[in-house]
């Protein structure tokens, strides 16, 4: 069932199993039939740990979405709230509890499961509303790192970046450290920790302190990970702003991938039946799951989009040929063999059909004039051209009132590629944006400045060209079909964060000391003691395993780049990726926008 | 509260000296240990991990009774000194929950000025408190804190949610006097001025609309109120409904342009969009016509004419009007492609003539109706002996 989790170098099934065990224990504690009231935000991540079938095994008979008003009728003994520790949600729960008909029999017991942590503030709030006593079991479910795929873990904490960099709130870093302790309990102590950035430093400190405070945690598990690399998102603010050009990256940019699911416009997926003329087209969006369990997807997800077409057409030929085999099957034995392979072939054909449709949808967008113009400007900035003046294309887009996030991505990209904009240029953009989209956006612009994304140039020096040249971030001769360098994921730009990981493995960060100093935050190395006998003796030719933890978010393109490094012959290192959240430029900027109050009329 | 009691509170909350207790150990080290222990126990209560890492269990113990203990354990910290050490320990622990718990306690048991003063030098704790106040909606406390810290820019941008228009206007006005950066001040001033204008325009226009006298409002009823709209949208509205008004009125486009220093480019684009929507081609014409010092009129635009054509075409301008502007597109290739696209035959013909491209001109004959004026035009040009064709 967990094919996608066991496919990698590290078997992440164990992590999911641990999560499931915890859940089962809590459900059993609330003995009897139950109904779960869900915080909608949690249903996605939970779905990656346990399906409804598991819940049913533990007497979960109904599931509802958390909303104000009276709880729906359900003949169950227990009502369990699965919620994040947020005050707004506490208000809704209070409403639900107060409206419960105490006269009904049998009475229903209430319980709360806080995910990932209990919160004193929330419980205090419930107490003040007078409902705290109504709950029998109040517990927490530490869903920190959720396995998304065989080499990918995420906390799905969408406010982590904002909290850490704008609000000096390090709670999510604390959760990250806790998640790492859990990983170490299952997969062994990680002997070497490298890091770059203030948050990285905090997480490492927390890990060390946690280890010290729980001496019983020395376990006898043979370490699976050789190295942990902690990276602050703000060490590389550039990469998420650029439009991703891998197949998976583009799906995320255009349609948004949530907890490995994507919702697509249904028209292209309607089954074409012969003889049925123009029947009702489906109106519900087509929902697909995207992970490495699907063979074809695993093959094309990390490719540059321009290389996907040829893979799909080759596959089409292979599958056609395979189906043709039925004409050649003569003996009973041969027919039997053909029939036994039929399900696999049908799955492959359906997979091919889906991805051909998706590729067509994406192509419509990538061949549009607007996409091309936008990409051209992005690439100009990333290669260092004209980053110090007001850009005509951006001005035109503002004048034509293109979506604000698109504008913000571009001006932030320009600012980062110029180490901050000249005051005149910055003022000009700000004025145009405020005049066109409204003065209330000054709050968002403030946030972007605080995060370092859109700010005035201080010190008059632009460091970006040096960083770009030293780390070879812009590669002119990119081979999209058969890449030889990670820059293929952005058709020319090598993600700075992944370059740092690449150089750490070989030849080491000493060789880029000067450049590292230009990037924000300290860089450091820590070693953790392994109990004797567990020192890893690597076989000749065996790769190291490095866990790269992005604090503040990671893009699918960066994941693709790291997978590329893992596959490289003589690369020497295989990577597993962890993050606080899977992001793209749009969702990232959105998380930094201030919520605007609704118009009073 | 009796006077004596008040004095006592005063002592406890502002005294720099440790409280006297019988199990006193007269050194700072033990005090530190005490706080550390409290913070750790708090963390245990707040974050109920039974860190039995061999079995990786997250199970927590039911905390029913422990909640009361939390309050008890913090009440031990009575003197200011103790409270501050407690706070610093909590911050060092990085657990947001614990920090918030301590802050709630301090907010309740310390005088405001003292709390503010101590937080001023403790950035992390300060950020937590601000976040907490925002979450719980304690607007007044938050504003007082920000004012104390002189974080005036945040005062302005913390525009409280769900304020009606009048209150928002007053709020903005109160922000204007505060010391911001020059840029931000001008934005806030503009925001205030814009809102003021919008209130006036809205009142006026609503009246006009209801009176039913204005044909323009009858023909194009307003879809929404102008309040809280961005500046450019307001300009569009003004160019639509109040184009001919003199600069003196608040609703005239020229007044808006002057007051908010709207650049020419933006102004022309917006006015064009508005007049084109109303199909007022004469106004469009006037936008681009300037008289030079010799009295000759010529057309120029701060934006490329291809943009003008785009906007006109989007508003279904008749070909004769479109043609005028396609003719003015500077770049020949663009001019040709636009002219061909929108069937501005004259322009195509003239351009090919100017390019001396006979082959293309002949090819274009197939695109015009036989015997039409355009056909005649092509023929007469082709027959013109004076042209030195390049092909």
Q: Does A129 touch chain B (CB under 8 A)?
A: no
pLDDT bin (cut points 50, 70, 90) of residue A601 is: very low
Contact A87, A121 (CB under 8 A): yes
Residue of A nearest to B45 (CA): A120
> Could you give phi then psi for residue A304, rounded to 5 degrees?
-65, 140
Chain B: closest CA distance from residue A584 (Å): 26
Q: Which segment of A226-230, A532-536, B37-41 scores lowest on mean pLDDT?
A: B37-41
* Cβ contact, residue pair A185, B159, below 8 Å: no
Residues of each domain in chain A carrying CATH 3.90.830.10? 245-267+281-366
Closest CA to B144 of B129, B162, B164, B163: B129
Residue B285 has pLDDT above 80, yes or no: yes
Are B285 and B387 found together in one domain?
no
* Cβ contact, residue pair A22, B162, below 8 Å: no
CATH number given to A143-241+462-600: 3.40.50.1910
Task: List b or e across A413-430, with b for residues whose CB sees 16 or more CB atoms inside 10 angstroms.
Answer: bbbbbbbbbeeebbbbbb
Domain range for B336 is 280-343
Q: Which segment of A204-218, A451-465, A491-505, B53-67 scores lowest on mean pLDDT?
A: B53-67
Residues of each domain in chain A carrying CATH 1.25.40.850? 383-459
Mean pLDDT over A233-243 rounds to: 97
For chain B, the average pLDDT equals 75
Are B369 and B297 found together in one domain?
no
Residue A254 has pLDDT above 60, yes or no: yes
Mean pLDDT over A160-178 rounds to: 90
Sheet of strand A257-258: strand arrangement: A257-258, A261-264, A286-289
Residues of B in contact with A121 (CB under 8 A): 97, 100-101, 104, 132
Q: Does A277 touch chain B (CB under 8 A)?
A: no
Residues of B in contact with A199 (CB under 8 A): none
Residues of B in contact with A132 (CB under 8 A): 67
Please state which CATH class domain A245-267+281-366 belongs to.
Answer: alpha beta
Decide if B166 is inside a domain. no
Q: Which long-range contacts (CB under 8 A, 24 or more apart) does B29-33 make?
A: B31/B81, B31/B82, B31/B85, B32/B85, B32/B89
pLDDT bin (cut points 50, 70, 90) of residue A405 is: very high
Q: Which of A3-7, B148-152, B346-350 has the highest mean pLDDT?
A: B346-350
Write the CB contacts of A509 (distance below 8 Å, at least 6 apart in sequence).
A194, A500, A503, A516, A523
Residues of each domain in chain A carrying CATH 3.40.50.2060? 1-142
Are B304 and B387 found together in one domain?
no
Q: For residues A447 and A595, what is the distance between their CA atoms, to the nearest angstrom?
A: 12
Are B116 and B80 found together in one domain?
yes
Q: Does A437 touch chain B (CB under 8 A)?
A: yes
Strand stretches in A347-491, DSSP E: none
Chain B: closest CA distance from residue A279 (Å): 34
Residue of B nearest to A122 (CA): B97
Residue A478 has pLDDT above 50, yes or no: yes
Mean pLDDT over B366-387 rounds to: 84
Query: Tokens 């950066």 belong to which residue?
Result: B181
Chain B: closest CA distance from residue A163 (Å): 9
Length of chain A: 601
Contact B122, B114 (CB under 8 A): no
Contact A156, A582 (CB under 8 A): yes
Mean pLDDT over A63-69 rounds to: 91
Residues of each domain in chain A carrying CATH 3.40.50.1910? 143-241+462-600
Residues of B in contact with A429 (CB under 8 A): none
pLDDT, residue B98, reads 75
Residue of B nearest to A600 (CA): B164
Decide if B15 is inside a domain. yes
Total Cβ atoms within 10 A of residue A166:
18
pLDDT, residue A498, reads 97
Decide if B181 is inside a domain. no
Q: For residues B24 and B27, what is the distance between their CA atoms, to the nearest angstrom?
A: 9
Are B21 and B114 found together in one domain?
yes
Q: Which long-range contacts (CB under 8 A, 24 or more apart) does B363-371 make?
A: B367/B340
Residue B11 has pLDDT above 70, yes or no: no
Residue where a domain terminates, one of B116, B150, B184: B150
* Cβ contact, residue pair A597, B190, below 8 Å: no
pLDDT, residue A484, reads 94
* Cβ contact, residue pair A120, B260, below 8 Å: no
Write the CB contacts of B17 (distance below 8 Å, at least 6 apart in sequence).
B79, B81
Are B315 and B355 found together in one domain?
no
Are B294 and B327 found together in one domain?
yes
pLDDT, residue A206, reads 93
pLDDT, residue B4, reads 47
Decide if B81 is inside a domain. yes
Q: In the A/B pair of chains, how many CB contacts fall below 8 A?
A: 154
* Cβ contact, residue pair A439, B136, below 8 Å: no
Strand stretches in A150-289, DSSP E: 152-154, 192-196, 227-232, 257-258, 261-264, 286-289
Query: Tokens 């790192």 belong to which residue?
Result: A145
Residue A111 has pLDDT above 90, yes or no: yes
pLDDT, residue A398, reads 93
Task: List b or e across A190-201, with b for residues whose CB sees 16 or more CB atoms inside 10 angstroms.
Answer: bbbbbbbbbbbb
Q: Which long-range contacts (CB under 8 A, 24 or more apart) does B253-262 make?
A: B256/B197, B256/B231, B259/B193, B259/B197, B260/A435, B260/B190, B260/B193, B260/B194, B260/B231, B262/A435, B262/B231, B262/B235
Q: For residues A57 and A53, what is the distance between their CA atoms, to the nearest angstrom?
A: 6
Mean pLDDT over B213-233 rounds to: 88
Write the CB contacts of A594 (distance below 8 Å, at least 6 apart in sequence).
A443, A444, A447, B157
pLDDT bin (cut points 50, 70, 90) of residue B54 is: very low
Total Cβ atoms within 10 A of residue A580:
30
Higher-confidence residue of B173 and A37: namely A37
Q: For residues B163 and B172, what is the distance between their CA atoms, to the nearest angstrom?
A: 11
Higher-confidence residue of B100 and B252: namely B252
Q: Does A192 touch chain B (CB under 8 A)?
A: no
Contact A522, A266 (CB under 8 A): no
Q: Does A167 touch chain B (CB under 8 A)?
A: yes
Residues of A in contact with B60 (CB under 8 A): 118, 139-140
Decide if B258 is inside a domain. no
Are B50 and B12 found together in one domain?
yes
Higher-confidence residue of B236 and B16: namely B236
- In this prediction the ipTM stands at 0.78
pLDDT, residue B177, reads 59
Of A170, A399, A442, the CB nearest to B266: A399
* Cβ contact, residue pair A120, B100, below 8 Å: yes
Residue B50 has pLDDT above 60, yes or no: no
Mean pLDDT over B71-94 rounds to: 74
pLDDT tens by residue, A364-386: 999 999 999 999 999 999 999 99
Contact B221, B231 (CB under 8 A): no
Chain A: closest CA distance from residue B306 (Å): 13
Token pair of A12, please?
Answer: 């992440």
* Cβ contact, residue pair B53, A600, below 8 Å: no
Q: Which segment of A24-28, A265-269, B144-148 scores lowest on mean pLDDT?
A: B144-148
Mean pLDDT over B263-281 rounds to: 91
pLDDT, residue B161, reads 46
Chain B: closest CA distance from residue A355 (Å): 36
Number of domains in chain B: 3
pLDDT bin (cut points 50, 70, 90) of residue B16 is: very low
Higher-confidence residue of A490 and B29: namely A490
Residues of A in contact with B59 (CB under 8 A): 22, 25-26, 139
pLDDT, residue B162, reads 47
Q: For residues B87 and B102, what is the distance between their CA atoms, to the nearest angstrom?
A: 6
Chain A: closest CA distance from residue B191 (Å): 6
Mean pLDDT over B153-163 rounds to: 55
Token pair of B304, please?
Answer: 């490329």
Residue B71 has pLDDT above 50, yes or no: no
pLDDT bin (cut points 50, 70, 90) of residue B215 is: confident
Chain A: closest CA distance from residue B26 (Å): 27
Mean pLDDT over B228-239 rounds to: 93
* Cβ contact, residue pair A435, B231, below 8 Å: yes
Residue B9 has pLDDT above 50, yes or no: no
Decide if B271 is inside a domain. no
Are B11 and B53 found together in one domain?
yes
Residue B300 has pLDDT above 50, yes or no: yes
Residues of A in contact with B136 (CB under 8 A): 87
Decide if B310 is inside a domain. yes
Higher-confidence residue of A502 and B69: namely A502
Residues of B in contact with A142 (CB under 8 A): 49, 58
Residue A497 has pLDDT above 90, yes or no: yes
Are B34 and B82 found together in one domain?
yes
pLDDT, residue B126, reads 85
For chain A, the average pLDDT equals 90
Residues of A in contact with B231 (CB under 8 A): 434-436, 438-439
Q: Does A170 touch chain B (CB under 8 A)?
A: yes
* Cβ contact, residue pair B60, A598, below 8 Å: no
Decide if B215 is inside a domain. no
Q: Is the dihedral of CA A576, A581, A583, A585 positive or negative?
A: negative
What residues pair up with A37 in beta bridges, in sequence order?
Answer: A64, A81
CATH number given to A1-142: 3.40.50.2060
Residue B325 has pLDDT above 60, yes or no: yes
pLDDT bin (cut points 50, 70, 90) of residue B298 is: confident
pLDDT, residue B223, reads 86
Of B123, B128, B164, the CB nearest to A600: B164
pLDDT tens by residue, A302-323: 999 999 999 999 999 999 988 8
pLDDT tens by residue, A183-225: 998 999 999 999 999 999 999 999 999 888 876 656 678 889 9
Give the helix/strand (H/E) hosting A83.
strand A78-83
CATH number given to A383-459: 1.25.40.850
């Amino acid at each position: 069932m967990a094919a996608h989790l066991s496919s990698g170098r590290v078997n992440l099934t164990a992590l999911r199993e641990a999560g499931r065990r915890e859940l089962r224990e809590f459900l059993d504690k609330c003995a009897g039939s139950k109904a779960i009231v869900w915080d909608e935000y949690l249903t996605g991540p939970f779905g990656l740990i346990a399906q409804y079938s598991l819940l049913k095994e533990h007497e979960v008979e109904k599931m509802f979405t958390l909303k104000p008003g009276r709880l729906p009728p359900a003949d169950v003994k227990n009502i369990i709230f699965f919620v994040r520790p947020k005050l707004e949600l506490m208000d809704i729960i209070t409403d639900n509890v107060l409206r419960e008909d105490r006269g009904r029999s049998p009475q229903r017991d209430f319980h709360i499961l806080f995910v990932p942590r209990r919160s004193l503030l929330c419980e205090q709030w419930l107490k003040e509303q007078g409902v705290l006593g109504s709950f029998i079991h109040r517990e927490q479910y530490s869903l920190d790192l959720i396995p998304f795929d065989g080499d990918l873990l995420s906390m799905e904490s969408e406010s982590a970046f904002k909290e850490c960099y704008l609000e000096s709130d390090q709670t999510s870093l604390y959760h990250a450290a806790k998640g790492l302790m859990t990983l170490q309990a299952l997969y062994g102590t990680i002997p070497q920790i490298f890091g770059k950035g203030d948050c990285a430093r905090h997480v490492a400190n927390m890990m060390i302190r946690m280890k010290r405070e729980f001496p019983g945690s020395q376990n006898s598990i043979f370490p699976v990970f050789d190295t942990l690399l902690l990276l602050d998102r703000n060490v590389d603010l550039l990469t998420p702003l650029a439009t991703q050009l891998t197949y998976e990256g583009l799906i995320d940019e255009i349609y948004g991938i949530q907890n490995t699911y994507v919702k697509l416009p249904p028209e292209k997926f309607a089954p074409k039946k012969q003889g049925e003329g123009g029947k009702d087209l489906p109106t519900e969006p087509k929902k697909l799951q995207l992970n490495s369990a699907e063979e074809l997807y695993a093959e094309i997800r990390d490719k540059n989009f321009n290389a996907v077409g040829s893979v799909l057409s080759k596959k089409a030929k292979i599958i056609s040929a395979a189906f043709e085999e039925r004409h050649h099957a003569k003996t009973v034995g041969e027919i039997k063999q053909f029939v036994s392979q039929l399900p696999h072939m049908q799955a492959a054909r359906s997979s091919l059909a889906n991805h051909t449709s998706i590729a067509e949808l994406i192509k419509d967008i990538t061949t549009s004039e607007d996409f091309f113009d936008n990409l051209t400007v992005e690439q100009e900035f990333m290669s260092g051209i004209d980053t110090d003046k007001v850009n005509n294309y951006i001005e035109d887009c503002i004048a034509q009132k293109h979506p604000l996030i698109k504008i913000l991505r571009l001006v932030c990209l320009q600012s980062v590629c110029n180490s901050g904009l000249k005051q005149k240029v910055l003022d000009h953009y700000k004025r145009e944006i405020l005049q066109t989209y409204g003065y209330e956006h000054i709050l968002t612009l403030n946030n972007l400045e605080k995060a370092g994304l859109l700010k005035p140039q201080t010190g008059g020096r632009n460091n970006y060209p040096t960083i770009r040249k030293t780390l070879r971030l812009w590669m002119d001769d990119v081979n999209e079909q058969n890449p030889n360098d990670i820059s293929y994921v952005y058709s020319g730009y090598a993600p700075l964060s992944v370059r740092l990981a690449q150089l750490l493995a070989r030849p080491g960060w000493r060789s880029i000391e000067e450049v590292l100093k230009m990037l924000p935050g300290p860089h450091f190395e820590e070693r953790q003691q392994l109990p004797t006998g567990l020192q890893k003796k690597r076989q000749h030719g065996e790769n190291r395993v490095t866990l790269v933890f992005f604090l503040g978010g990671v893009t699918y393109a960066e994941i693709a780049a790291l997978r590329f490094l893992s596959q490289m012959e003589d690369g020497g290192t295989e990577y597993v990726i962890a993050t606080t959240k899977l992001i793209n430029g749009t969702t990232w900027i959105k998380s930094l926008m201030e919520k605007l109050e609704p118009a009073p009329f | 509260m009796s006077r004596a009691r008040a004095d006592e509170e005063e002592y406890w909350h502002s005294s720099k000296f440790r409280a006297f207790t019988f199990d006193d150990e007269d050194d700072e080290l033990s005090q530190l240990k005490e706080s550390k222990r409290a913070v750790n126990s708090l963390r245990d209560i707040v974050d109920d991990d039974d860190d039995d890492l061999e079995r990786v269990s997250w199970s927590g113990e039911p905390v029913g009774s422990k909640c009361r203990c939390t309050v008890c354990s913090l009440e031990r910290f009575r003197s200011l000194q103790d409270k501050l050490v407690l706070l610093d320990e909590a911050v060092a622990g990085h657990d947001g929950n614990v920090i918030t718990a301590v802050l709630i306690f301090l907010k309740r048991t310390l005088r405001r000025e003292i709390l503010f003063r101590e937080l001023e030098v403790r950035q992390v704790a300060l950020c937590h408190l601000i976040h907490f106040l925002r979450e719980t909606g304690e607007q007044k406390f938050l504003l007082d804190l920000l004012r104390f810290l002189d974080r005036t820019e945040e005062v302005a941008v913390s525009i409280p949610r769900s304020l009606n228009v009048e209150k928002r206007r007053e709020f903005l006005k109160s922000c204007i006097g505060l010391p911001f950066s020059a840029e931000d001040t001008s934005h806030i001033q503009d925001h205030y001025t814009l809102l003021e204008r919008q209130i006036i325009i809205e009142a006026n226009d609503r009246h006009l609309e209801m009176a039913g006298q204005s044909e323009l409002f009858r023909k194009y009823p307003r879809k929404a109120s102008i309040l809280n709209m961005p500046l450019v949208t307001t300009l569009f509205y003004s160019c639509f409904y109040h184009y001919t008004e003199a600069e003196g009125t608040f609703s005239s486009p020229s007044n808006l342009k002057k007051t908010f220093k709207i650049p020419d480019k933006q102004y022309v684009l917006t006015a064009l969009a508005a007049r084109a929507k109303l199909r007022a081609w004469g106004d469009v014409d006037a936008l681009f016509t300037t008289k030079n010092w010799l009295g000759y009129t010529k057309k120029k635009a701060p934006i490329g004419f291809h943009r003008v054509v785009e906007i006109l075409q989007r508003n279904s301008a008749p070909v004769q009007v479109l043609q005028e502007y396609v003719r003015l597109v500077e770049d020949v290739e663009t001019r040709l492609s636009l002219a061909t696209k929108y069937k501005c035959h004259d322009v195509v013909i003239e351009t090919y003539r100017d390019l001396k491209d006979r082959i293309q001109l002949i090819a274009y004959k197939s695109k015009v109706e036989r015997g039409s004026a355009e056909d005649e035009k092509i023929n007469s040009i082709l027959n013109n002996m004076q042209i030195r064709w390049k092909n």
